[in-house]
């Protein structure tokens, strides 16, 4: 782990990040209870419920919890009910979708990888937790490692070679053109529907912004700014976290298109454009900024699989 800011400051960011995530999930659960309580038709159909967890004011089913749960999720799928969720609860819903998506692939990839290792086949590592990824390139590089390697080897690099051999442009334009071809393949691979297009398009925009940011960081004017204004690596890290926070928000919303479809993705954009309350803005900005610091600090942390293999090498 490479820490470029004081350890105490990083601990503060980590605590804030954990607290706001838990608070968003709490608001989601609490808001669902409020919506259920205001829905007279749904409440009357669940008349065999009794008080459950007092902390969350949840109801506990006595007999038909499976049917009642399916009925509840059918009603909560209604966009009019989803629109009633407060801003923080809506963010908690997005976080919950992401965690479920991550857990799903950890289990599925982990299971198949375990069988592969029985045949002495080295499988790609399981997905990295999305709650500690703050830029698009890391999401693609560390979530589905097998897909990433396939895309780089068979789509990105051949596209880069073909374009660079026929057209003379700065190197960054070759990268952007190859990335565009890669995301066109991703769009067709996942399905040519609108919410997949939005997900692919926003991902490409995010990757493009990252490329421009990296190019600017190599410019002489930025190097002068770093040496004469920022002066320390800690200040540069804080600046990068502040600049990456909006990119993290865009990354999250793009994934909501993938997780929940067009209507939910549009709802998150509508929430931002309507400008949330001052308190919610502070919570969201601080959460995004803290997440960027945590992600940068944990970026180079090796996986348990890597450490295990390293231990075997030293023991030989």
What crossing angle do the helices spanning 87-118 and 233-260 adopt, rounded to 10°?
90
CB atoms within 10 A of CB 50: 8
Distance of CA 180 to the CA centre of its chain: 21
Give the span between the Cα atoms of 28 and 179, in whole angstroms: 36
Angle, vertex CA 260, rays to CA 254 and CA 261, nearest 5: 75
Give the span between the Cα atoms of 185 and 200, in whole angstroms: 10
Helix, strand or coil, per DSSP, at residue 56: coil
User: Left if phi > 0, otherwise alpha if psi is -120 to 50, otherwise beta: which for 85?
Assistant: beta
What crossing angle do the helices spanning 278-298 and 87-118 adopt, rounded to 10°?
20
The pLDDT score that the predictor gives to residue 262 is: 92
The pLDDT score that the predictor gives to residue 316 is: 40
Cβ–Cβ < 8 Å for 291, 98 = no
The pLDDT score that the predictor gives to residue 39 is: 57
Q: What is the full DSSP assignment across 232-271?
A: SHHHHHHHHHHHHHHHHHHHHHHHHHHHH-HHHHHHHHHH
> Contacts from 199-203 at CB under 8 Å and sequence distance 24+?
199/254, 199/255, 199/257, 199/258, 199/265, 202/250, 202/251, 202/253, 202/254, 202/257, 203/136, 203/140, 203/251, 203/254
Largest CA distance in the chain: 72
The pLDDT score that the predictor gives to residue 129 is: 86
190 as an active site residue: the answer is yes
> Contacts from 20-24 at CB under 8 Å and sequence distance 24+?
20/283, 20/286, 20/287, 20/290, 21/95, 21/131, 21/287, 23/88, 23/92, 23/283, 24/88, 24/89, 24/91, 24/92, 24/95, 24/287
The pLDDT score that the predictor gives to residue 311 is: 47
Q: What is the pLDDT along the chain (316 residues), one digit of tens a residue?
A: 567 889 999 999 999 999 999 999 899 888 876 666 565 555 555 555 555 555 555 555 554 455 555 555 555 567 777 888 889 999 998 998 899 899 999 999 999 999 998 999 888 888 988 888 888 888 888 889 999 999 999 999 999 999 999 888 888 899 999 999 999 999 999 989 999 999 999 999 999 999 999 999 999 999 999 999 998 999 999 999 999 999 999 999 999 999 888 998 999 999 888 877 888 999 999 999 999 999 998 887 765 554 455 444 444 4
Per residue in 153-173, is it b (16+ CB within 10 Å) or e — as a string? eebbeebbeebbeeeeeeeee
Distance of CA 257 to the CA centre of its chain: 12
The pLDDT score that the predictor gives to residue 187 is: 95
The pLDDT score that the predictor gives to residue 243 is: 94
CB atoms within 10 A of CB 279: 10
Backbone angles phi, psi at 49, to 5 degrees: -90, 145
pTM score, whole prediction: 0.82
Active-site residue, selected from the candidate residues 190, 195, 293, 314: 190
């Amino acid at each position: 782990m490479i820490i470029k800011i004081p350890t105490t400051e990083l601990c503060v960011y980590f605590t804030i990040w954990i607290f706001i995530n838990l608070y968003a999930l709490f608001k989601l659960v609490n808001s669902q209870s409020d919506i259920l309580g205001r829905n007279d038709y749904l409440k009357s159909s669940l008349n065999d419920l009794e008080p459950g967890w007092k902390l969350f004011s949840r109801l506990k089913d006595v007999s038909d919890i499976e049917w009642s749960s399916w009925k509840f999720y059918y009603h909560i799928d209604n966009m009019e009910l989803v629109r009633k969720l407060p801003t923080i609860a809506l963010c908690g819903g997005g976080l919950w979708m992401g965690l479920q998506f991550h857990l799903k692939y950890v289990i599925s990839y982990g299971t198949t990888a375990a069988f592969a290792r029985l045949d002495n086949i080295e499988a790609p590592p399981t997905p990295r937790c999305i709650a500690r990824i703050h830029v698009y390139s890391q999401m693609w590089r560390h979530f589905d490692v097998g897909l990433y390697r396939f895309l780089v080897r068979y789509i990105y690099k051949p596209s880069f070679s073909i374009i660079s051999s026929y057209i003379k442009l700065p190197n960054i334009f070759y990268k952007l053109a190859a990335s565009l071809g890669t995301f066109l393949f991703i769009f067709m691979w996942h399905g040519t529907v609108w919410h997949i297009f939005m997900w692919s398009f926003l991902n490409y925009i995010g990757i493009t912004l990252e490329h421009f940011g990296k190019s600017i960081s190599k410019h002489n004017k930025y190097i002068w700014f770093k040496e004469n204004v920022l002066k320390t690596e800690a200040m540069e890290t804080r600046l990068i976290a502040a600049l990456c926070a909006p990119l993290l928000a865009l990354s999250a919303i793009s994934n909501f298109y993938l997780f929940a479809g067009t209507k939910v993705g549009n709802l998150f954009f509508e929430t931002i454009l309507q400008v949330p309350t001052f308190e919610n803005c502070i919570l969201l900005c601080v959460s995004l900024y803290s997440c960027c610091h945590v992600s940068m600090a944990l970026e180079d942390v090796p996986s348990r699989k890597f450490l295990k293999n390293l231990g075997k090498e030293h023991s030989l």
